[in-house]
Homo-oligomer: A and B are copies of this chain.
Amino acid sequence: MIKKGKLAGFPFLFYISLFLVLEGFFVVMELLLSHRSVRKYLAKDIDGDVLNEILECGIRASNTGNMQLYSIIVTRDSNKKELLAPFHFNQPMVKNAPLILTICFDINRFSKWCFLNNTKTDFSNLLWLLTGAVDASILSQNICVAAENKKLGICYLGTVLYNAPEISEILNLPSGVIPITSITMGYPDQVPDKTDRLPLNSVIHFEEYDDYSDDRIYTAYSEKENLESSKQFIQENSKENLAQVYAEVRYKSADNQFFSGKLLKMLVDQGFAFE
């Protein structure tokens, strides 16, 4: 296609410039847009230096007051993975992944620093738990983007919040260190299809929240409802529609309340105020 003789005549720096301009527009967007969660990994370890580079990208992310109220627990040991697996509801990637990162809100380190400096403050409340969750997640996403850039696959494990007390015990987390999210990581042994998303305009509001009419809801969800995978999902669960699968099978009220109560009790036991 490309005539070597002709194009090779351009100077080297022209090509560099061309690519430096193009990369800025394409490479990063393409990386973000091509994300899929990877749940099957090759039996290939992640080099320590590669992990360090990835985690350095993580901690460069913005964080509240630059206090870095977070800690990262690295799990490589297969015994630990065995122990963690049931509390991630035995999702196979927990044992299969070479690496699991558990990202925690950490007020323990900061409090110790304050104590050594003859002062203290109180972050044991809802405001700071949410602030910490935001910071831990921003950090996590930088880690995931950097990892995918290194041709690694990742999958978030939301289950860490369901069983935070048990996972905290396995990871020996002291009071004031709350697991927020976990990430499995490894070289992909699958290329999953991209999952669907609601149309962008159905999650955006300009200037003010434009509350949803019935019609707008139908429009927003129609593509998702009509996917083959959704129809299969409905049939497998013997439900009438996709919303019922979500609300009555995957995320039942009774489960939501049970696991929330467990998390709340753990936090109250650690002195968090919810009144």
Footprint of B on A, CB under 8 Å? 2, 4, 7-13, 15-16, 19, 23-25, 27-29, 31-35, 37, 52-53, 55-57, 59-62, 64-68, 70-77, 80, 106, 108-110, 112-114, 116-123, 125-131, 133-138, 140-142, 144-146, 149-151, 154-156, 158, 161-162, 171-174, 177, 180-181, 195-198, 200, 202-209, 211-212, 214, 217-218, 220-221, 240-244, 246-248, 250-253, 256-257, 259-261, 263-264, 267, 273-275
Which residues from B are CB-within-8-Å of A80? 207
Contact of A211 among B60, B108, B240 (CB under 8 A): B108
Q: How far is the CA of A154 from the CA of B62 in the complex (A)?
A: 10
- Contact between B142 and A32 (Cβ–Cβ < 8 Å)? yes
Q: How far is the CA of A250 from the CA of B114 in the complex (A)?
A: 13
* A137-B138, A200-B55, A209-B172 as given contacts; A109 in contact with B60, CB under 8 Å: no
- Contact between A218 and B127 (Cβ–Cβ < 8 Å)? no
Q: For A168, give the chain B residue with the smallest CB separation.
A: B209
Which residues from B are CB-within-8-Å of A10? 8, 12
Q: For A59, give the chain B residue with the smallest CB separation.
A: B197
Q: How far is the CA of A107 from the CA of B218 in the complex (A)?
A: 16
Contact of A240 among B118, B197, B261 (CB under 8 A): B118
Q: For A148, give the chain B residue with the smallest CB separation.
A: B28
- Contact between B162 and A127 (Cβ–Cβ < 8 Å)? yes
Separation in Å of the A161 CB from the closest CB of chain B? 6
Which residues from B are CB-within-8-Å of A31? 28
Q: How far is the CA of A75 from the CA of B205 in the complex (A)?
A: 9
Contact of A122 among B61, B64, B217, B253 (CB under 8 A): B253
Q: How far is the CA of A125 from the CA of B149 in the complex (A)?
A: 35
Q: How far is the CA of A199 from the CA of B2 in the complex (A)?
A: 49
In addition to A25-B149, A59-B198, A138-B141, 17 A-B residue pairs with Cβ atoms within 8 Å of each other are A25-B150, A32-B142, A32-B145, A35-B61, A37-B62, A55-B200, A62-B155, A64-B158, A65-B158, A109-B212, A109-B220, A114-B243, A121-B247, A125-B261, A127-B161, A177-B209, A264-B274
Contact of A273 among B12, B16, B59, B257 (CB under 8 A): B257
**A/B interface sample: 22 pairs, CB < 8 A:** A4-B12, A29-B53, A62-B155, A68-B198, A73-B209, A75-B207, A108-B211, A112-B217, A117-B242, A117-B243, A119-B243, A120-B253, A121-B247, A121-B256, A123-B256, A127-B260, A128-B260, A131-B158, A133-B137, A134-B137, A137-B137, A141-B141
